[in-house]
Amino acid sequence: MVALKLACSLCGSKVPRADCPRCGSLQLSLFDVPPAPVPDDGDTATIDEFREAARRRRAAHAARLERLSRLGRPIRVGLVGCAKTKRDEPAKCRALYKSPLFVASLAHAERVCDETFVVSAAHGLLSLDETVSPYDRTLRELPKKERLAWGERVAGSIKARFERLPLELLILTGLEYSGPIQVAAFRYSWKFEAPLTRLSIGQRLAWLKVQTPPPISRKRLRGRS
């Protein structure tokens, strides 16, 4: 039987890389449906198994879009910026970044949005449960033209995940990341908010703290019973 390994034939990466001319250009098609878990180096999948996994992903994708369409309003999509401080080993995206700003931004986005993703300089749009290896890359390293191309890839990945559903973006990043995404969002006529764009890190943390609802006291809980 023929075995398949999921990796870019040019750079060898198992996830799309913005700096690779091959997998970077293919990123939109790779996100037509949510990506399958990438196997370890020693794992392989037969063609039949690969096709069956793709069929299941397409079915789950269709069911998810049907559920979201029943909300009867634009889908609120949270985009949380990646962080420089990371774990030293591969981890799920929600656990890879360790900065207080990332943790607070993720908590707020998950509280107020229908679905939340991380935007990464190296990988574009990332699902929260996608396993990612540590990396060292920021958009500050890229010229404006490449930053805008990155924003287009992120927006294209979002569109592929939600197809024709109306969207509202909550962009919780600094200007380097939110700017290219906003430019692309205009092209798709998406509404968006970017409340942290021009704030310092301290001001972003203060803003997020204000948005956090106070905990429910035990006295209030006892009063309801």
Listing DSSP states for 173-214 in one string gives: S-HHHHHHHHHHHHHHT-EEE-TTTTS-HHHHHHHHHHHSPP
Number of domains in the chain: 1
Please give the average per-residue pLDDT across 54-74, as a whole number. Answer: 90
Is 222 a member of any domain? no
Is 184 a member of any domain? yes
Q: Which residue has the higher pLDDT, 222 or 184?
A: 184
CA angle 166, 81, 35 (to 5 degrees): 60
Residue 77 has pLDDT above 90, yes or no: yes
Please give the average per-residue pLDDT across 54-68, as a whole number. Answer: 89
Is 116 a member of any domain? yes
Is 123 a member of any domain? yes
Is 221 a member of any domain? no
Is 158 a member of any domain? yes
pLDDT for 66: 92
pLDDT for 204: 96
What range defines the domain where residue 16 resides?
3-212
Banded model confidence at residue 7, pLDDT cuts 50, 70, 90: low
pLDDT for 186: 93
Please give the average per-residue pLDDT across 30-51, as a whole number. Answer: 57
**Quick check: 177 and 197 in contact, CB under 8 A?**
no
Banded model confidence at residue 50, pLDDT cuts 50, 70, 90: confident
Tokens of 176: 């380097």
Could you read off the pLDDT of 159-175 as tens digits, one per residue?
999 999 999 999 999 99
Q: pTM above 0.85?
A: no
Q: What are the C-alpha distances in Å from 34 to residues 64, 125, 172, 173?
A: 11, 11, 22, 23
Is 223 a member of any domain? no
Could you read off the pLDDT of 179-191 as tens digits, one per residue?
999 999 999 999 9
pLDDT for 53: 84
State the chain's maximal CA–CA distance in angstroms: 65
Banded model confidence at residue 89, pLDDT cuts 50, 70, 90: very high
Could you read off the pLDDT of 118-147 as tens digits, one per residue?
999 999 999 999 999 999 888 988 899 999
Q: What are the C-alpha distances in Å from 154 to residues 13, 160, 175?
A: 18, 10, 15
Banded model confidence at residue 217, pLDDT cuts 50, 70, 90: low
Considering the chain, what is the average pLDDT of its residues?
82
Q: What residues are paired with 126 via a beta bridge? A: 118
Is 132 a member of any domain? yes
Q: Provide the pairing of β-strand 115-120 with 124-127.
A: antiparallel
pLDDT for 115: 96
Banded model confidence at residue 107, pLDDT cuts 50, 70, 90: very high
